[in-house]
Amino acid sequence: MTEARKATLYRMVLPDHVCPFGVRALQALERHGFEVDDRSLKTRMEVDAFKTKHGVSTTPLIFIGGKPIGGSRDLERYLANETART
């Protein structure tokens, strides 16, 4: 698999809440043939530290080929553009 077909997904998976946008992003990546490094943020402290470190206000955050794509909606646009180019 080429580097461009690898994705890293950071998403919130708390004991009492699983972010539906993270689930949707994971499913979309897998549907489009990406090998996904699924990184769960399992505590509120982890989520808050991650958001501060990356300067984002929400999760998930997706990286493709090591480059930040953004959140779930950004991923949808990325995949739509990728599909249009092929």
| pLDDT the model gives residue 1 | 42
- CA pair distance 83, 76, nearest whole angstrom: 11
Residue 2 pLDDT more than 70?
Answer: no
pLDDT value at position 86? 64
Question: Would you say 25 and 9 are in contact if contact means Cβ atoms under 8 Å apart?
Answer: yes
User: What's 61's domain CATH number?
Assistant: 3.40.30.10
Instruction: Using a cut of 0.85, tell me whether the model's pTM lies above it.
Output: yes
CA–CA separation, 15 and 47 (whole Å)? 13
Q: What is the mean pLDDT of residues 60-83?
A: 93
What residues make up the domain containing 21? 3-85
Residue 84 or residue 24, greater confidence:
24
Number of domains in the chain: 1
* Averaged pLDDT, 33-39: 96
Report pLDDT digits (tens) over 6-28.
999 999 999 999 999 999 999 99
